[in-house]
Copies of this chain bind each other. A is one copy, B any other.
Amino acid sequence: MSEPREDADPDSPEGRGGAAAVLPAAAPGSGRGALDRRRILGSAIEFIDAQGLPALTMRRLGAHLGVEAMALYRYVPSRENLLDGVVETVIDELYGDPDVHLEPGHGWQDYLQRLAHGVRRIALAHPEVFPLVATRPPAAPWVRPPLRSLRWVESFLVALIDSGFSQEAAVSAYRAYSSFLLGHLLLEVSQKGVAVNAEDQPEGVPAEQEAVDLSQYPTVVRLEPLLSLDESAAEFEEALENLLERLELVLREGRTPRRGDTRD
């Protein structure tokens, strides 16, 4: 039963035994056990995953931990800082993922593949948190995106440079890789997230909310089955492999690529 099916998404939370969802954080009612920063952050992640980001307030998070809101301020200087901590904590799950390595033992393609899937696993495990990863101002203005921690940026750059990339190529690879991950995962997560959104309308008949008039968009209507089909895993894989091929070219030609010689 719990064996992965043929077409199961290898990065989906239930689909494998990987990392993600490792923090303790205990039940909300059982309000014992010393408060501390880690417990607060873990609880916040759990809370966001369950109730959605806008539902997270200091008072509610306090209640979730069986404590007054102000108690949190002994461990967290502000709500903003708490959100930063949430992002950092979530990204840190990469370190606990046995399939992702800080050092490329089997070549840079393998390294990038594993890293990408690791990040995807995190995104899928915390769909409500991931947009925060994309949106929060970074530690250093220039690193920016999903691999927020400088340690991963360092690891990325070293891996590629050690594999023969020039410094320029490594940096531009980092940018391409980042924006690919960011774009694809943000899209995927929000596609999933909206279906069962946190804010629910428990009305008797949940259907027919506003139902925008689709009659002017016949193609959209006709392709709606295709559009709502979820082939994220395959698309991710394909785009990722395309990116890796592109990088391979960059590496081999030792320069920034200028579209293949297919014309001109």
Contacts and interface: CB of A to CB of B under 8 A. Distances in A.
Nearest to A53: B135
A141 B191 contact: yes
B153 A190 contact: no
A234 to B, nearest CB: 8
A145 B194 CA distance: 12
Interface size class of A (residues with CB under 8 A): 35 or more
A142 B231 contact: no
B259 A167 contact: no
Interface string A157-188: 11001000001101110111011111110110
B190 A145 contact: yes
A247 to B, nearest CB: 11
Interface stretch (A7-15, A26-34, A60-68, A236-244): A236-244
Contacts of A142: 191, 224, 227-228
A232 to B, nearest CB: 9
A143 interface: yes
Contacts of A257: 238
Contacts of A170: 223
Contacts of A103: none
Contacts of A182: 182-183, 186-187
A172 B220 CA distance: 13
Contact of A214 (B131, B150, B175, B258): B150
A259 B231 contact: no
Given A157-B219, A183-B181, A187-B145, A135 B137 contact: no
Contact of A238 (B212, B214, B231, B258): B258
Contact of A246 (B154, B227, B242): B242
**What are the 10 closest A-B residue pairs judged by CB atoms, nearest first?**
A183-B183, A179-B183, A142-B228, A154-B217, A182-B183, A171-B226, A141-B194, A179-B187, A179-B184, A142-B227
A180 to B, nearest CB: 6
A201 interface: no
A216 B134 CA distance: 24
Given A154-B217, A182-B183, A238-B258, 6 more contacts: A134-B186, A143-B227, A154-B216, A175-B187, A179-B184, A182-B182
B183 A184 contact: yes
Nearest to A162: B219
